[in-house]
């Protein structure tokens, strides 16, 4: 029987090109309540733990299947995580399946939201209407609740990612388990987008991921602007549509 799988997966070995997978953590109770989490350390809820387990299986299937675990004595894949528990718990799900270790870097945390943390978005809109509008437009210099700017978050995120990419062999993959807003600005900066265009990218849904690939070989450099976007905000394909039984033609099989 012929295979129905596509001939090429975006996670196949890329030769001399390195890849970065930004993977958002699973759902928390504050996500469900639409509260601004920022750097508050809120754990996964039951739904989030289930999301992390399922997404880890999808990622592991592609990562392990399409590439050797080691290149010489060097691992071809490394998992790097924010130190906040919701991200680290998500990363551990993948590490369990792949047999890898999880490195932790606090530079991968979500935006520090100052006075906004713990408030619902409706409360923030009511109490800080002008500030939240500017922040949602990615205006430079706007601090979330008096905390960080988008640019500050992007700088620390990208610095952490590029440092760890350099430690990988040619063709290696870095899985960065982190947060939705932080991922959006990091991806935008790595692609070399000017700040006024950062808003053209969406944030990530819980346990969805984005894939960047170096646009040239490692020898030519993998810095800012030398990446291309292969996938964005991907989690899984929807279930195929089936006609309800009471509308379908009867069959004798």
- Active-site residue set: 25, 110
CA-nearest of 205, 226, 253, 185 to 52 is: 205
Lookup: tokens for 21 = 């997978």
Backbone angles phi, psi at 219, to 5 degrees: -65, -25
SS3 173: strand
SS3 237: coil
Judge whether 173 and 77 are in contact, CB under 8 Å. Answer: yes
Distance CA 124, CA 127 (A): 5
């Amino acid at each position: 029987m012929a295979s129905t799988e596509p001939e090429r997966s975006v996670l196949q070995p890329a030769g001399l090109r390195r890849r970065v997978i930004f993977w958002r953590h699973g759902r928390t109770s504050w996500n469900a309540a639409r509260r601004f989490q920022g750097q508050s350390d809120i754990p996964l809820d039951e739904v989030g733990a289930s999301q992390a387990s399922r997404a880890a299986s999808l990622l592991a299937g592609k990562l392990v299947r399409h590439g050797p675990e080691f290149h010489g004595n060097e691992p071809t894949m490394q998992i790097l995580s924010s130190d906040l528990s919701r991200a680290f718990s998500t990363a551990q799900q993948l590490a369990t399946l792949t047999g890898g270790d999880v490195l932790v870097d606090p530079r991968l945390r979500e935006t520090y939201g100052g006075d906004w943390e713990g408030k619902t978005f409706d409360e923030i809109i009511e109490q800080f209407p002008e500030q939240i509008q500017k922040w949602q437009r990615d205006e430079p210099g706007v601090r979330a609740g008096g905390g960080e700017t988008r640019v500050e978050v992007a700088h620390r995120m990208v610095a952490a990612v590029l440092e760890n990419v350099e430690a990988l062999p040619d063709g290696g993959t870095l899985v960065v388990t982190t947060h939705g807003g932080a991922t959006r600005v990091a991806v935008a900066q790595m692609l070399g987008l000017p700040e006024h265009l950062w808003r053209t990218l969406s944030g990530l849904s819980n346990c969805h991921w984005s894939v960047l690939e170096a646009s040239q070989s490692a020898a030519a450099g993998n810095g800012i602007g030398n990446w291309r976007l292969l996938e964005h905000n991907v989690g899984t394909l929807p279930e195929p549509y089936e006609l309800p039984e009471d509308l379908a033609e009867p069959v004798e099989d």
